[in-house]
Amino acid sequence: MKGSHVLPIQIDFSIDRNVNELRKLLDRVVNDSPVLFFLLGNTLANFQRDTKLLQTLSQLMRREDKLLIEVGTTEELSQEVAQKAADEYARTKSFREFVTSALLQNTDLHIDLNSVFFEASIEVDKAILIKILYRNLTENKIQVMLPDRSVMDFENQDTIRLYLTRKYTSTGIQKIISDSNLLLVDSLHIKIDGSETLAKIVL
Ligand SMILES: C[S@@+](CC[C@H](N)C(=O)[O-])C[C@H]1O[C@@H](n2cnc3c(N)ncnc32)[C@H](O)[C@@H]1O
C-alpha cells in the first residue's frame, strides 16, 4: 500500500465518543463507497467486556460496510484445555517479557519474570479465558511510582492484571456478533499446528 494512502490514527477505540469522532473523520475523507474494517490478531479477546467493545465498534459502520474479525478458537470448553493454553503461554520467556513491558514502561518496579502468573478458567458457552497477573512475592509492601509521579501501594501478594486473552467457541463468538447487532456473512476456520483461528466477516 502506498504510504500516501495510509492514515495512522491513534485513539482508544473502546470509547464510544472516540469512535463517533472517527466516523465523522471518515465521512470527510472517504466517499460513499463501502468500507471494510478489520479487527485482527485476536484483539477482541483482550477486552474484559468484549461484547461491549464490538457494540462500540459497530457504531462505526454504515449499512453497507463490513468488518473482518479474527479470533483464536477452541472446539472444546474444558478446564483441561484452558490449563493447556495457559501453560503454553507460561513456558514462553518472550511472552513473559511482552506482558511485563507495560510495567517496565509505566512503573519503576523491579520486574521479576517468575512473579508472572497464568490463570485459566472457562466462560460458560463462550470461551476459555486466560488471565495473566503480576504478583508481589517480595513479602513486603512495595511503593510503585507511576508516570505522573504518583505512588501506588502494592501490598504483599496483591496482583496487577497484565493481560487477558481467550479462545472462543464457535457459538460463543457468534453470540457476541449477534449481540452487537451485526450479521455474520461468511467465516473461515484455519487450523495451524493445533492452534485454531476463525475469521468472520460481519455486516
Ligand atoms: C493483539 S494486537 C493485534 C495487532 C494487529 N492487529 C495484528 O494482527 O498484528 C492488539 C492491538 O490492539 C491495540 N489496542 C488494544 N486496546 C486498544 C484500544 N482500546 N484502543 C486502541 N488500540 C488498542 C494494542 O495496542 C495492540 O496493538
Query: Does 14 reside within a domain?
Result: no
pTM beyond 0.85: yes
Q: Answer yes or no: do 99 and 137 share one domain.
A: yes
- Could you tell me where the DSSP H helices lie in the chain? 16-29, 50-58, 79-90, 93-106, 170-179
**Residues spanned by the domain of 140:** 79-164
Give the total number of structural domains in the chain: 2
What confidence tier does 2 reach under pLDDT thresholds 50, 70, 90?
Answer: confident
Q: Indicate which residue's Cα is closest to atom 1 of ligand 1.
A: 43
Would you say the CB of residue 12 lies under 6 angstroms from ligand 1?
Answer: yes
> Are 160 and 188 contained in the same domain?
no
Other C-beta atoms lying within 10 Å of the C-beta of residue 142: 16
State whether 88 and 157 are in the same domain.
yes
* Ligand 1: centre distance to CA 189 (Å): 22
Name which residue sits closest to atom 22 of ligand 1, judged by CA: 12
* pLDDT digits 0-9 by tens, 38-94: 999 999 999 999 999 999 999 999 999 999 999 999 999 999 999 999 999 999 999
Q: Are residues 83 and 148 in the same domain?
A: yes
Strands 127-135 and 159-168: antiparallel
